[in-house]
Homo-oligomer: A and B are copies of this chain.
Amino acid sequence: MSDFKATKAMFHLPEGVIYLDGNSLGPLPKATAQRVSQTVTQEWGELLITGWNKAGWMEQPMRLGNRIAKLIGAPDGSVVLGDTLSIKVYQAVASAIEMRPDRKVILSDSGNFPSDLYMADGLVRTLGDGYSLKVVAPADVAAHLTDEVAVLMLTEVDYRTGRMHDMAALSRQARDVGAITVWDLAHSAGAIPVDVAGCDVDFAVGCTYKYLNSGPGSPAFIYVAPRHADTARPALSGWLGHEAPFAFDPDYRPGTGVERMRVGTPPVLQMAALEAALDVWDMVDIADVRARSIELSQLFIEIIDERCPDLPLASPPDAARRGSQVSFHFEDGYAVVQALIARGVIGDFRAPDIMRFGFTPLYIDEQDVAQAANHLCDVIEQRLWDHPEFKKRAKVT
């Protein structure tokens, strides 16, 4: 059994704060400051340009990709880091759609993160020629997954409600109708067991600053199934995806395997933060993380049910159909979340009325959960949120 007391000690959590927003930005692992500082002063400062070789910066996107691969059921050499998640979504969908030249539909759902939909929409407009993005309700995806669909693009865990798609079943159905799958694992990687190889997924993408705790704006990752990795065309054909980047050939020739999905120079300081953050995963089993996250989420729901039975759960009540977060509907949810932050409980709000709380066993325990649930009920029962200070919207909500 994974030792979550030990993992909690690996994170810096500000005094008096209960952090239930690791699903948006993971907290700082204690080892990170030192690791980043080493990259700045010892590597960049002392090695200068030779750091690309001597400090291994150039290989880092694949090296760290291999560590993430273990968390999502991907084989060695099939995952690479780089860019932002939106860019990785674009790359995956652009490559996927070319594999079905006789089809023109990208199927997605309204539970997808908006940026995924926006990126696909942008791609469709650039492709022109009758291509389209079809967005249906999450529950209707299976019914619309026909042999007209070129690409099925879904986020496994809904960012607002935590509702989970059945990745295995939908991927199987996609394969049966000849559609290529692109799964966004933003709220999956590091939160729940994922098995991209076992589910026969074609492409997967995800971010590292949520449950992987790599820091604000750290790079995304992309998985390409080995059966496609040497044939998928990179639409964003950057020099580091070239077969021989330093030959400076006038013509683009995609590199071998998933490395062809590299584009430009990797963000070395953010990579250093990611490297430090990944160490915690050597100490825990993702199955234990999942089991514990369910316990914590259930405890939260039970206390709310008991004390605030009128607060409508926005997440699936069945833990097996829910990611590592619990959400509630509340019209003045923004103000409630602000009032909670004032009490040291950090969750977040997603328009129009979702209060969202993430349960990450790496640094959250029962005591935190019980306290947070009681604070939430206090704020609601006593209408503590009903104060102008809490209703003033910040730019980032």
Q: Which residue of B lies closest to A272 (CB)?
A: B269
Q: Which residue of B lies closest to A37 (CB)?
A: B37
Q: Which of B126, B217, B238 contacts A270 (CB 8 A)?
A: B217
- Given A126-B235, A267-B217, answer yes or no on A396-B246 (Cβ-Cβ < 8 Å): yes
Q: Which of A1-57 contact B (CB under 8 A)?
A: 12, 14, 17, 19, 21, 24-25, 27-28, 32-33, 36-37, 40-41, 44-46, 48-53, 57
Q: Which of A127-135, A293-301, A383-391 contacts B (4 or more CB under 8 A)?
A: A127-135
Q: Which of B83, B126, B264, B346 contacts A85 (CB 8 A)?
A: B264
Asked if residues A216 and B264 are in contact (CB atoms below 8 Å), the reply is no
- Given A351-B247, A396-B53, answer yes or no on A267-B267 (Cβ-Cβ < 8 Å): yes
Chain B proximity mask over A216-236: 1 for CB below 8 Å, otherwise 0: 111110000000000001111
Q: Which of A70-78, A113-121, A317-325 contacts B (4 or more CB under 8 A)?
A: A113-121
Q: Which of A146-154, A191-199, A248-256 contacts B (4 or more CB under 8 A)?
A: A248-256
The answer to whether A90 has its CB under 8 Å from any CB of chain B is: yes
Asked if residues B25 and A48 are in contact (CB atoms below 8 Å), the reply is yes
Q: Which of A232-289 contact B (CB under 8 A)?
A: 233-239, 242, 246-252, 263-271, 273
A113 cross-chain contacts in B, Cβ below 8 A: 239
Asked if residues A235 and B48 are in contact (CB atoms below 8 Å), the reply is no
Asked if residues B86 and A238 are in contact (CB atoms below 8 Å), the reply is yes
Q: Which of B85, B215, B246, B268 contacts A268 (CB 8 A)?
A: B215
Q: Which residue of B lies closest to A45 (CB)?
A: B28
Q: Which of A78-104 contact B (CB under 8 A)?
A: 83-87, 90, 94
- Given A87-B87, A248-B351, A265-B84, answer yes or no on A40-B45 (Cβ-Cβ < 8 Å): no
Q: How far is the CA of A28 from the CA of B113 in the complex (A)?
A: 38
The answer to whether A58 has its CB under 8 Å from any CB of chain B is: yes
A25 cross-chain contacts in B, Cβ below 8 A: 44, 48-49, 51
The answer to whether A143 has its CB under 8 Å from any CB of chain B is: no
A83 cross-chain contacts in B, Cβ below 8 A: 83-84, 87, 264
The answer to whether A122 has its CB under 8 Å from any CB of chain B is: yes
A33 cross-chain contacts in B, Cβ below 8 A: 37, 40-41, 45
A-B pairs, 7 with minimum CB distance: A84-B264, A115-B239, A122-B237, A216-B268, A86-B238, A217-B267, A118-B252
* Given A48-B346, A121-B237; 12 other pairs, CB 8 A cutoff: A14-B48, A17-B48, A28-B44, A36-B36, A49-B348, A50-B341, A86-B239, A121-B252, A246-B395, A247-B351, A248-B350, A248-B351
